[in-house]
Structure 1
Amino acid sequence: MAAEAKRPRVSPGREAHAPCPGSPAAVRAPPPPVAGSVGGGGDADPDPVAGFLSWCGGVGLELSPKVAVSRQGTVAGYGMVAQESVQPGELLFAVPRAAILSQHTCCIGGLLEPERGALQSQSGWVPLLLALLHELQAPSSPWSPYFALWPELSRLEHPMFWPEEEWRRLLQGTGVPEAVEKDLANIRSEYYSIVLPFMEAHPELFSPCVRSLELYQQLVALVMAYSFQEPLEEEEDEKEPNSPLMVPAADILNHLANHNAHLEYSPDCLRMVATQPIPKGQEIFNTYGQMANWQLIHMYGFVEPYPGNTDDTADIQMVTVREAALQGTKVEAERLLLHERWDFLCKLEMVGEEGAFVIGWEEVITGEELTTTLKVLCMPAEEFREFKDQDGWDDNNREEDSLTITDIPKLRASWRQLLRDSVLLTLQNYATDLKTEQDLLNNKEAYAKLSWREQQALQVRYGQKMILHNLLELTS
């Protein structure tokens, strides 16, 4: 990812996007052949890498002589490999702003800009997607050598392309089915309400072959997995996020949590710089940010198998904590008071009906929200009345924003019990228990017989359950 995305606070979202995924530990599907139709690359060029490198020279995209684009020695599809040893701080390549494909640099940028208001959407991606739809079917698109390195769109492995029965069954309890449902509904709505009417209004720019919901969904997945989002400056935090960009060369790098390169932004270009020593022959990895496995499979179509993803997390839905607290009430008055406490937490923006508390291996990512929620739901009634009358705590009385995993045994007994009950309820959302999956992972022969999707989904579930069971031990 261009600049490391911030950890999601309440409900993980797409703060930034990144290139085609892969990792040394990740077992990916075999790399697809380069496609020869709209929505893939082109197979007219017998050597798409040579064509791409020639194009790079023409647009001023400079690659260090120490690196090479290759299928050999990489974990998934194309990647970038060190031909000589590289030291931290060395420039691997520089992408001039003019070589970036965006709504501003595409051939129809002059049309998209004045139509910006009509193309607004929840995702904010419509202008770029229209640019891609136009460029892909344009025989003389200047981006054709770049497209030749794209994977075949019909072979993308995001769960949204799995049969519905499969993603619902294999990923139950992980949060992915809910995310896929939202994606599919939003894509369909965006396509029929904005994209298709725009293409039909400009038939000279969009041939019938690109006017399909299927292709649009594939391009959404491609933008989700390959694009970059330039981070806002600190003083711009309240602004809308920047529009996504397609960054040639940068999107060739595969992902690893323990990456050895990262992208830097400057006014004139984007620079990929080494962050660790990279020995000759080793693959160069970028990072897509601190991404849990459920986010990786949802947005990129792969995972880092346990225990490789040190950024993995498990979610406890906020409403699950409310449900656990309600289980401890005995009379109607207690239930009413608990709902009052919950409503006040909503007013403080500590909880929400669709939010989640995010638990990592070393810290609770949403530490402030979780500690405040546990405190308010567990405090004596008189203390809550005082708390509510004061409209919450002043800065001197607030809990620490950070909450490490090692802090959890030190929490008050009532807080630990509520957290434990919430974990137990969360574990009920999965179709199988931890031991069943542990046995399957430990049986190499049985694991090898699973389909690639079954293996990926198992890794997502297992990592989450391990984090949740660690919480059970800490709260016992």
Structure 2
Amino acid sequence: MASRRVRAFKRWMSSHGIEYSDALHFKDDPERGISVVALCDLKEGDVVATIPKTACLTVKTSGACKMIEAAGLGGILGLSVALMYERSLGEESSWAGYLQLLPHQECVPFAWSLAEVDSLLCGTELHKVLFNHKTGAEDVHFSSVSSHHESVNDDDDDNHEYANASGDDDEPSTENSDQDRDETDPSMGNNSSDSSDAEPSSVSGDDSSVLQMIMVKDVKVGIEIFNTYGLVGNAALLHRYGFTEPENSYDIVNIDLELVLQWSSSLFSSRYTRARLSLWRRLGYSGCVSQSSEYFEIAFNGEPQIELLILLYFILLPEDTYHTLDLSLSAGESYNEAICTILSKKNNIALENTSDMSTELFFTESVCNALSSLADMRESCYAIKSKEDDIEVLRSGSTKDRKLYHSSVLRLSERRILENLRNYAAALMQSLRPAKRSSMRKRLKRNGMQH
């Protein structure tokens, strides 16, 4: 039997002309909040709900519209005020039946104490505030159509007006939703962020338009239905919404330039390191930059950003090769000519321009070893919490201590990427060795020394 608040929500949907498929079951779990489960197999392309635009809580539809616009508030701030205003009205709000589903707060790190941030997030990407990550695993997305079911795809501001709210009391990631979490919030449960793999068209300026919830992949009976939170990783999800997703394939880890220079200075003199970094910059390279911090991205599969590979390659160049490259540049030789000359000699191939270069040209055993060392140094940043501690938290299966649980998921996700980086480097090193043995056999054969 449906809970009291689910029944109230269904009555509210009916009174606002919202239609949803009989294949959707609204489940109210005391610990996890509202979720939506498929009562039968659903196929990609199935329309499972239609929501009139007038049922959507936006700045324009809120009773606080004039006040918000007079104050010049826009975007998320304007939406937040609209949501707060409607909640303050209680049962007098047109969205009371929907708002009663929403939690009063989300467990976002912004509201954590400094002690909690330092103890639970130390070493993570979130602790450093680098939020350029991605994730995506939705089952549905919303598309706007007119009342005559014609597709609408205009880029008006309405696409950025829907209120941000979650229908889950504990785990927002497990709920069904209908729109962009940063921008939309018509009626049903949870919301998403940024963008999805299949972009929903923007909302029409016509008030008679409706939103359609459309399945973007098949979902079997009994399986929970998810909407997109956008292509963001766990650091961004925890930062924005207060939750994480285990096995988030859009996670990345950043390795700061300072960490690379620290590694180099442990092997070479500071003067040596500065000279190699200067050469790298003279050739036009740089890392990603955010908040005056320069860093390199490591993808979920462990693949490092090519600029990092090139920097490591230059740091590890033999002294004579480095001086040859340095002199070539000082003599006015172009970057194209200089780097292609060096790589051609090293790989015994002819390179005419940099467009012929591939990532593999910068791999040496020394570079692979450097990548493994950087992975170890980056992981040492989690010194406060061990990997075993985090695994035990997840093994317990309890999400009652949400801060501990989600910080553990974040750390394990990042540690997995660092392990993938080590494996990536090890696999490349292994692939280099047969090539070296083959090259040695060829030289021995030419010299008549092979038996």
TM-score by length of 2: 0.64
Whether the 8 Å contact between 1:350 and 1:373 is mirrored in structure 2 is: no
Change in CA separation of 1:457 and 1:351 when aligned onto 2, cut-off 3 Å: closer
Segments of 5+ residues of structure 2 without an aligned counterpart are 132-162, 338-351, 427-451
Partners in 2 of 1:418 and 1:452 — Cα distance?
Answer: 36
* 2:240 match: 299
* 1:189 match: none
* 2:82 match: 131
TM-score by length of 1: 0.61
Partners in 2 of 1:77 and 1:280 — Cα distance?
Answer: 20
Per-residue deviation, 1:378: 5.0
Larger radius of gyration: 2
Whether the 8 Å contact between 1:321 and 1:418 is mirrored in structure 2 is: no
* 1:47 match: 4
User: Between Structure 1 and Structure 2, how many residues are aligned?
Assistant: 357
Partners in 2 of 1:229 and 1:112 — Cα distance?
Answer: 22
* 2:293 match: 354
* 1:195 match: none
* 2:325 match: 383
* 1:464 match: 414
* 1:144 match: 96
Partners in 2 of 1:286 and 1:75 — Cα distance?
Answer: 20
* 2:22 match: 65
For the residue of structure 1 that corresponds to 2:293, the secondary structure is coil
Partners in 1 of 2:251 and 2:382 — Cα distance?
Answer: 17
Higher relative contact order at CA 8 Å, sep ≥6: structure 1 or structure 2?
1
Change in CA separation of 1:446 and 1:357 when aligned onto 2, cut-off 3 Å: same
Whether the 8 Å contact between 2:287 and 2:296 is mirrored in structure 1 is: no
Alignment of 1:182-221 (within 5 A): none
Change in CA separation of 1:285 and 1:425 when aligned onto 2, cut-off 3 Å: same
Identity rate, percent: 22
Per-residue deviation, 1:173: 0.6
Partners in 1 of 2:101 and 2:276 — Cα distance?
Answer: 56
Whether the 8 Å contact between 1:86 and 1:280 is mirrored in structure 2 is: yes
Partners in 1 of 2:327 and 2:60 — Cα distance?
Answer: 55
| Residues 1:159 and 2:106 are matched in the alignment | no
Partners in 2 of 1:440 and 1:179 — Cα distance?
Answer: 21
Whether the 8 Å contact between 1:79 and 1:253 is mirrored in structure 2 is: no
Per-residue deviation, 1:150: 0.4
* 1:423 match: 375
* 1:322 match: 261
| Residues 1:286 and 2:227 are matched in the alignment | yes
For the residue of structure 2 that corresponds to 1:356, the secondary structure is strand
Change in CA separation of 1:280 and 1:114 when aligned onto 2, cut-off 3 Å: same
Change in CA separation of 1:180 and 1:108 when aligned onto 2, cut-off 3 Å: farther
Per-residue deviation, 1:87: 1.7
Whether the 8 Å contact between 2:43 and 2:219 is mirrored in structure 1 is: yes
RMSD of aligned Cα (Å): 4.4
Change in CA separation of 1:174 and 1:443 when aligned onto 2, cut-off 3 Å: closer
**Counterpart code for 1:309:** N
| Residues 1:96 and 2:52 are matched in the alignment | yes
Partners in 2 of 1:448 and 1:54 — Cα distance?
Answer: 33
**Counterpart code for 1:71:** D
Per-residue deviation, 1:273: 1.6
Segments of 5+ residues of structure 1 without an aligned counterpart are 1-45, 182-218, 231-242
**Counterpart code for 1:144:** A
